[in-house]
Chain A
Amino acid sequence: MSEAVVKATKVETRSLWARFLPRDERVILVLIIAAIFAILVLPPLVFLVKGALTITQGGETRIGLDRFITVLSLKGIWTSAFNSFVFALGSALLALIIGGVNAWLVERTDTPFKPLAYLTTIISLGTPYVLYTSAWLLLLSRSGPINSWYRELTGETGVLINVYGLGGMILIEGLLWSPLVFLLLGSTLRNFNPDLEEAARMSGAGTWETLRRITFRLSLPSVLALAMLVFIRTVEAFEVPALVGLPGRVHVLTTDIYEMMHRTMPPDVGSASTLSTLLLCVVAVLLWYYGRLTRNAERFATITGKNFRPNKIPLGKFRFLGGAVLVLNFLCLLILPMLILVWASLLPFYQTVRASAFKLLSFKHYFRIFESDRYLSLLGNTLLVAVVTATIVMVITAIAAWLSVRKLPGARMVDQLGTVPLVFPGIVLGVGVMQFFLSMPIGVYGTIWIIVWAFLINYLPYGIRYSYAGMLQVHRELEEAAAVSGASPFLAFRRIVFPLLAPSLVAGWLFIFLLATRVLTLPVLLSGPSSQTMAVAMFDLWSNGQGPELAALGLLWSFAMTAVALIFYFFARRSGVGLYGQG
C-alpha cells in the first residue's frame, strides 16, 4: 500500500516537472520561430512602406504622405480600383457556381461520371496558370476556333465573343479557380450531417426545399469564406489581367503596379511601392474579415468527426443531366484547353484550327526541347527551389503549429505573424524582396536563393494551415506519456508528434511544391542569369513569340506535374486533412 502511494507521488512530481520545466525550454523555441518569421515577413513590409513614404526632393530626403495623394489622384486609378473589384467579385461568383454545382453533384447525388470531376481537378493542380490562360485565350480569342467558325457559319466579320474585357477576364479567372472551389466545397459537403436533411424531409419538405433551406443554409459560412478567399486571391491576380485585360484596355490595380515598374526607365519604384501599400491595406482588411468568417465557420463544423456517409440524393430522370454537367465541365476545363495546346505545339507558327494548317504539323518543337540542355538546367533549378522551399516551410511550420496547439505563451501570436504574407500579392512581394536584398551587402540578389527566400515568405501561411490542421488531430496524451517515460519534449516531438503529423506534412509539402513549380510572378522579377525556373522560361517563350514551343514545353511539364499532383491527392486523402489544409 505505502509502496503504491510512493509510486503515485513519484508520478505526480515527474509529471509536474514535465509540465513546468520543459515549457520554459519550449519558450526558447517559440522565440526562435518568432525570430525566423519576423526576419522573413517584416523586411518586405518595411521596405515597401519606407519606399512609399520617403520623398526625395532636390537632394533632400524626408518622410511624407505626398505620394499617396499623387497616386490617388492619378488619372484612371479609381477606374482600376473599380475594375479590380468587379473582376474579383465576378470571378469569385463564377468559380463558386461552377465549382459548387460540381461539388454538390459529385458528393451528394447519384450522378454518373464522377471520376471525371476528380481527374479535371488533379490535372488542373499540375498546370501552370500562364499555360492555362494562354490556352483559353487561344480558344476564345478573335482568331480562335469559336470566333472563326462563327464567322464562317454566319458570314459575319465581327466576333461572337470578345474575350478582351472584364467579361473575358472574369470567365477565365473564374474557370481557373473553380477546381479549388470544387475541392473545398466537396469536403464540406462530404462531412455533412444527413440527420438535419432527413428531418426536413420527414417534415414534408421536397428535395429542392431541403436543398435550399437546409443544405445551402448549413454550408453558407464555408461558401462565404470560400468566396472571400477567391475574391482576395483575384484582387491579387496578375496573369489574367495582364494577358486578357490590357489588350482590351481594362486596367486593374496589379497591372497598374506592373506598368509603374515598366513604363519608365529607371522604374518608378516610389509610386509602385505606394500603390502596393494601398493594395496591401485593402487586402489586409479583407483578410481580417475572412478570418472572422472562417472562425464562425468552424462553429458550424462541429458536426464533423462522426463517421457517417451523407445520403446521396437520387436525381431520377435528371440523373443524366447531372452527368452532362460533369462531362461539360471536363470538356471545358480539361479537354478543350489541352487539345488547343496540342494543336499549337505542332505548328511552326500559330494558326487557328483549319484544314489548310494541317499540312504544317510536325513534332519539331518536342525534339527541340529534348535536345536543348538549357531546359535540363531549368528543370534542375525549378526542382531545387520547390524542394528546398517546401521542406523548410513544412519543418518550421510543424514546430510552430505544435507550439501553438500546445498553447505556449506567445505561440498563437507567432502563428498570426506567419499568416501575414497572405496580404502580399505576388508582384508586391517581389518588389519588396528585391529592394531588401539590393540594400543588403550579402550576395543573394540574382541567385537562386532570393527566389527560395521569396517563396518561403509566400508559402508560410499555407504551411501553417496544413501543420495546424494536422496538429489538432494529435492529442497531448501521447506526449504526456512520453514525458512520463522520461522523454524531453523535443524528443517527444521528434519521435511521436512528427511521425503522426507526417501525412499532413507530406500533403502540405506537395501542395507547396506544386505551387512553387508553377508560380510565375516572383521568379520573373527575381531570377538572375543562372537561376531561371521553368515558369520564367515559359513566360520568355510567350513574350518571344514562341507560342508553339511554349505549348509543347507546357504540355510535357503538365504531364510530369500531374504525376506529382496524383501523389499529392493520395496523401491528402489519407491524412484526413483535406486538400488545402482546411481541416
Chain B
Amino acid sequence: MALRVFHRRSLLIAATLAAFAQPALALDQALIDAAKKEGQVTWYTTQIIDQFARPAAQAFEKKYGIKVNYVRANSNEVALRVLNEARAGKMQVDVFDGTGATAALKSEKIPAKWIPEAAKRLPANYIDPEGYWVATNLYVLTPGYNTEMIKKGTQPKTFQDLLDPKYKGKIAWNSTASSSAGPGFVGVVLNSMGEEKGMAYLRELAKQNPSGLAVAARQVLDQVIAGEYAIALNIFNNHAVISAAKGAPVDWVPMNPALAVLSVISVTKDAPHPNAGRLLLEFLLSEDGQKIYRDADYLPVDPNVPPNDLSLRPDGEKFKAIYKTPEEIDKEMPRWAEIFKSLFR
C-alpha cells in the first residue's frame, strides 16, 4: 500500500516535471479567460465519485480556479435529466457523459456539435463522425468474482462455465437497461453466439437464477466483495482491480469475448457556461486529463497514456472484445432489455 502511494506520487511528480519541460498543447487563451469569467461548470457524470469524478473535479478546480458542480447518476438517468431540462427550456447542465444514452439526445439536438482541440490527436474511432461526442475512456465489461468463495484457478473462464449448477443463486447483475448490466450481457451473448445458440444459452443461464439488482454495476461488485454473491456479470473490469488494490477479495475474468464500450462526453448546445464546459472537455482529453484516468486505474483513450494495468485492455488475441459505439448500443438496447425482461425477471 505504502509502496503504491509512493509510486503514484513519483508518477505525479514526473508528470508535473514533464508539464514544465515541454509546453502543453497550445490552448486558446481566449477560451480560458472566458471560462474563468463564467467561474463554474455543471457536469452530469456517470463516473464513480470517489474513484474519478471527485479527483478530476479537484484537479480542474486547482488548475483553472473554476468550480465544478458534479452530479452522478447512471447513463439513463443522466440522459433523462438532460432531456428534461432541455424540454423545460431551462438548461442547467454544461457537460454530460455516459456510455449509451448520449446518442438518444443527439436526435433532439441537445449536445453541441463541437470536438475539443485536444481530441484531434486521438484515433478516429474515439470521435463521433457527426461531431457531437468524443470518448474519454474505454470500459471493458467482464465477470468479476469473490476470491474467497471461488479459489483463484477454479473460477469460471468461459460462458459455459457459468452454467455450472454450483453457481445457482450465486450470480448477480445490474437489472437496468444499460451495457453494464444484464441486458449488456444478453447483447454480448447474442452477438458472439448468434441468435439461436445465444437464446438457448440464455435460457440455460436463466436456470441459474441470477439476481437482478437495482443498483449500479459498481455496487453489484461490492456485494460480491462482501460475499453476498460469488459472481458478478458485466462489471467494469478496472473496478475489480481498484478494489483488489485496497485488499478486497476480488478478481475479474477475461471472458472471450467481453463487451467494450466507450464513455463519451459532450457539451450541451444551450449550456449556461459554454466556455467552462468546453474547457473541462479540453482538460479531460489533454494528456494531463488522461493521466487522471490512468491514475484512477481507468483505461484512457490517449494512445500515449497506457493504462496502469495493461491486461485490462483486450489485446485481441487471448482476450477479445466486441466493441460497440453509443449509437449501436442505443439501437440494440431495447431488444436486449426486452429479452432480459422476458427471461430473467
Q: A-side interface residues toward B, CB under 8 Å?
A: 75-76, 141-143, 148, 164, 242-243, 246-249, 251, 255, 258-259, 262-267, 348-352, 360, 434, 437-438, 440-441, 443, 445-446, 528-530, 532, 540, 542-547, 549
Contact = CB atoms under 8 A, between A and B. Distances in A.
Contact of A266 (B44, B83, B90): B83
B87 interface: yes
Contacts of A164: 211
Q: How large is the interface on B (under 10, 10 to 19, 20 to 34, 35 or more residues)?
A: 35 or more
Contacts of B202: none
Contacts of A545: 48, 216, 218-219, 221-222
Interface stretch (B112-120, B125-133, B223-231): B223-231
B145 to A, nearest CB: 14
Given A265-B177, A348-B246, A530-B69, A76 B92 contact: no
A540 B229 CA distance: 22
Contacts of A543: 215-216, 218-219
A528 to B, nearest CB: 6
Contacts of B50: 544, 546, 549
Given A348-B246, A546-B49, A247 B211 contact: yes
Interface in B323-338: 330, 333-334, 337
Interface in B12-43: 42
B272 to A, nearest CB: 10
Contact of A258 (B209, B214, B221, B337): B214
A569 B162 CA distance: 55
B5 interface: no
Contact of A249 (B101, B211, B342): B211
Interface in B201-246: 209, 211-216, 218-219, 221-222, 225-229, 243, 246
Given A142-B228, A143-B226, A349-B222, A262 B76 contact: yes
Interface centre among A148, A446, A543 (most CB of B within 10 A): A543
Contacts of A530: 42, 69
10 contacts: A143-B227, A246-B213, A246-B214, A249-B209, A264-B177, A434-B84, A528-B71, A540-B72, A544-B50, A545-B218
Given A441-B89, A545-B48, A248 B228 contact: no
Interface string B75-113: 111011101110111101100000011001000000000
**Interface of A, helix, strand, loop or mixed by DSSP:** loop
A508 B295 CA distance: 51
A169 to B, nearest CB: 14
A129 to B, nearest CB: 16
A142 B212 CA distance: 16
B209 to A, nearest CB: 8
Given A266-B79, A349-B246, A529-B44, 20 more contacts: A148-B227, A246-B175, A246-B213, A249-B209, A259-B175, A262-B76, A263-B177, A265-B75, A267-B76, A360-B247, A438-B84, A445-B90, A446-B81, A529-B71, A529-B93, A532-B71, A542-B219, A544-B48, A544-B49, A545-B221
Among A248, A528, A540, find the residue whose CB has the most chain B CB atoms closer than 10 A.
A528
User: Considering the complex of A and B, which 6 residue pairs feature the smallest CB-CB distances, nearest first?
Assistant: A143-B227, A545-B222, A545-B218, A443-B90, A247-B211, A445-B88
B186 to A, nearest CB: 13
B214 A76 contact: no
Contacts of B175: 246, 259
B248 A265 contact: no
A540 B84 CA distance: 20
A141 B223 CA distance: 10
B77 A262 contact: yes
A405 B87 CA distance: 44
A544 B228 contact: no
Contacts of B266: none
B197 interface: no
Given A267-B80, A544-B72, A546-B49, A349 B214 contact: no
Contacts of B152: none
Contacts of A544: 48-50, 72, 216, 218-219
Contacts of A446: 81, 85, 88, 90, 92
A91 to B, nearest CB: 20
A360 B248 CA distance: 11
Given A249-B211, A545-B222, A349 B243 contact: yes
Contacts of A350: 222, 225-226
B101 A265 contact: yes
B9 interface: no
Contacts of B77: 262
B157 interface: no
A265 B330 CA distance: 9
Contacts of B42: 529-530
